[in-house]
Amino acid sequence: MQKETFEVEYEYEGERLDKYVSILFPEQSRSFFQKLIKDGNVSVNDKIQKANYRLKTEDLVTVEIPDAVETQILPEDIPLDILYEDDDLLVVNKPKGMVVHPSAGHYSGTLVNAIMYHCKDSLSGINGEIRPGIVHRIDMDTTGSLIVCKNDESHVFIAEQIKEHSVNRRYRGIVYGVVRDDEGTIHAPIGRHPVDRKKMAINEKNGKDAITHYKVLERFDKYTYMEFKLETGRTHQIRVHMASIGHPLLGDTLYSNGKSPYKLQGQTLHAMTIGFIHPRTREYMEISAPLPEYFEKILHDLR
């Protein structure tokens, strides 16, 4: 049981209790804390209050978060598109609609379920039972190259490269509008959106440093085909950065109001190439995932 007490500062005078607590713990959802409050795990001045309680300066808010109950993750015989594999790691081409690792509402059908079946007991354990082998991730509706580590040594070695921004990650995407500059760099911090917790946003105050390099590959009447090179790997980074300059990704309903003439499942974004130093051979290797069929068809139609 995690138990902490906070004194309400002047700037939060009049704030709802559930919103205040969700600000204190940004890694959890607001609905999580609404349930916590409903279950009597949040008190104000030692008295249980409802979610809509309005806070006063110097109120003492005590939050008790029960220990997480680990859900058992089971191997599932789900076909994998394996681009490369050896004794230390594999690189898979993740399909659209597949969640990388289990989370609330997604305990089956994830990439982790599939690799557990494929690799049996050969997966790194650094990220715990719920994320074995997972050293980085891509969004559910983004396709493409993803490294999976089979042992802890490989995991540490690859994770260090990701931390140092030395992994070469190049994406392909189609954005709304005609991008004027042939290439450029967006350097703007990304953090949780202050109002909509499903979204990330350019957040100067609470965001983490984020850098995206972009290059125009082809311009069309209303769209632009682009390559993106990630220097950092923030949640929704390319999607947020491109939306911030007025060119959100085609099909991205979270960061765009643009109407798409195509029937799409989420953003038109593909993690095409990943390059890294191999943990055992210490040699640089680069692996690319071919563009998915739907992506090729859109390009064909646009041309």
CA distance 30 to 110: 24
Question: Going by C-beta distance under 8 Å and a sequence separation of 6 or more, which residues neighbour residue 230?
Answer: 169, 170, 171, 211, 212, 213, 237, 238
By the 10 Å C-beta count (0-12 exposed, 13-18 middle, 19+ buried), 156 is classed as middle
Tokens of 8: 């309400």
CA distances from 279 to 112, 138, 220, 269 (A): 21, 21, 41, 28
* Catalytic residue of the set 139, 141, 152, 209: 139
163 membership: H or E segment, kind and range: helix 152-163
In 3D space, the residue among 90, 108, 103 whose CA is nearest the CA of residue 145 turns out to be 90
Name the burial class of residue 284, with classes exposed (0-12), middle (13-18) and buried (19+) by CB atoms within 10 angstroms of its CB: exposed
Told to judge if 59 belongs to the known catalytic residues of this protein, a careful annotator would answer no
How far is 203 from 83, CA to CA, in rounded Å? 36
* Distance separating alpha carbons of residues 251 and 232, to the nearest angstrom: 23
Catalytic residue list: 139
